[in-house]
Structure 1
Amino acid sequence: MTVAAAEPDAHDSRSLHERIAADLRDEIMSGDLPPGGSLPSTVRLKERFGASSATVQKALQLLKGEGLVVGRAGAAVTVRAHRQRTIRPAPSLVTARPGEPYPWLTEAAAHGTRAAYALLEVAEVVPPSDVRAALGLPDDATALLRRQLLSIDDDPAELVASYYPLEIAAGTALAERRRIRGGTPTLLAALGHPPRLSVDRVSARVPTQEQSRALRLPGNLPVLRTLRVVYSDGERPVEVSVLVKAGHLYEVRYEYPAGPGG
């Protein structure tokens, strides 16, 4: 295992306790330090990282605040059964059959979790620049916003802001402050704009104040931000969403057939 130098690193401006926490966090999330197992003792961590007891304890406090480990001073620190979950974007385009709930809820239940969502806002707004560009809107144009908070087992999981062209959304259930039975893919299909293709751009960012509060994020850990553009027939963009989730709790899984080498 890599030993972190006690001196400041010209290429890593973080304090030593933050660097120690980062290395241990990576080992926890990758499974090298499995749930239910104990972290190395303070003495071992001091030797490994060339750090004082106080610095090691500060690193462990960060991990405790993130809910990754439990324990108290003088006792073994144990890795918790952390909440890292896998997100599969592909099912997001699936339309529900009449009378069925949104597929995201059904899929969560199939994995033994309880999913829910709260509709936070429905309004006509000027979207962010990247959303306007994806929708092909001029700088001062407005779109319909539907903002939601998705939860899993009562924990906030994802903040979603979805934008729709007004010529599609005006006068429809999209513009009403209520849940849409079967989800927006089903409604868009019923309106004559069936989702055909979804393109995701995923990036890691420092959370905004709103995102940190809504997702109850500890410290300054990054979030995963997905800009998702949904196209209908004729490659027309009919929905652009900004999806934000805690970066240390989620991974994104993409599946596609392997093609011949080029």
Structure 2
Amino acid sequence: MAKHKDKRPKAEKVAADIRALVMSGDWAPGEKVPSNAELTEQHDASNVTIQRALNILKDEDLLEGRSGSGVYVRDDAAQIITPASYMAPSDPGGPYSWVSEAASRGQSGSNKILNVEEVEPPKRVAAALDLSETGTAMLRFRIGLLDEEPAEVVRSYYPIELARETRLSDRRRIPGGSPTLLAEMGYPPREQADQVTARKATQEEHLLLELPDDVPVLEIFRIVYSDDRKVIEVSEVVKPGHVYKLGYHLPVH
């Protein structure tokens, strides 16, 4: 007998099962959702519970009601984001890869800089940058927007000796993005290491990402290396977990 019990309300359990079908693509974008009677039978739940579950997923923009027709899966599938696409410097004179990658998907990408300052970073960032207990780093804190909607919250930290008196310490946007600037400074990004965690959003993340109630986020802790494995950037990236997937293409040795 299983020791662990799912203590969530029935509506949340049903919503979780349906959410998995949408995120996996088993229920395709634009597909009509089974009737309430069918869902009631499938999930051994009351009609009120099914309605609550569907409303949860409507609030998350995973489902949408169409007057006189029924409930449908949203037209846009969950987006697969390939993190390595954003590491390489942009072509000379080209836009930041966040903008060009968004354009390739038919979207408008932009960034809103929230803060740029010299700080004592979190412990794991300090460890990655090999800082002393009182060591500092340059923080660039921003929101990435897709079609004017918040898509990610990013805190990027740079070695202070590398960042001072450069555009990395300037609150203005960096032409071509930080990978391009770092390459121009003689530190081309060569490699990145990601740690991915799924968790509940902090209060700040909930507000900045304009999240529906209690949806998970994906947190990517990223270390970017240049030549000789010099650490040139450490980032904490947080994305809404109900609308984004991370895609990786890794060589097999």
- TM above 0.5, one fold? yes
Residue 253 of structure 1 aligns with an amino acid whose one-letter code is: G
Secondary structure at the residue paired with 2:219? strand
Q: Post-superposition, which runs of at least 4 consecutive aligned residues in structure 1 deviate over 4 A?
A: 72-75
Q: Deviations over 1:49-95 (max 9, x none)?
A: 12111111111110110111122799621222135111111222211
Secondary structure at the residue paired with 2:151? strand
Structure 2's unaligned 5+ residue stretches are none
Superposition map of 1:63-212 within 5 A: 63-71=57-65, 76-212=70-206
- Contact 2:98–2:110 (Cα < 8 Å) also in 1: no
Secondary structure at the residue paired with 2:224? strand
Residue 10 (structure 1) shift? 4.2
Residue 107 (structure 1) shift? 2.1
Residues of 2 paired with 1:238 and 1:149: CA distance?
A: 21
Is 1:241 aligned to 2:224, yes or no?
A: no
**After alignment, is 180-189 or 76-85 more displaced?**
76-85
How many residue pairs end up in the alignment? 251
Residues of 2 paired with 1:190 and 1:71: CA distance?
A: 50
Distance 1:97 1:74, change over 3 A: closer
Residues of 2 paired with 1:52 and 1:75: CA distance?
A: 21
Residue 106 (structure 1) shift? 1.4
Q: Deviations over 1:183-218 (max 9, x none)?
A: 111111222222121111111111111111111111
Q: Deviations over 1:123-149 (max 9, x none)?
A: 111111111111111233221100111
- Contact 2:192–2:222 (Cα < 8 Å) also in 1: yes
Q: CA RMSD in A?
A: 1.8
Structure 1's unaligned 5+ residue stretches are 1-8
The normalised TM-score by structure 2 is 0.93
**After alignment, is 112-121 or 74-83 more displaced?**
74-83
Secondary structure at the residue paired with 2:70? coil
- Contact 1:38–1:78 (Cα < 8 Å) also in 2: yes
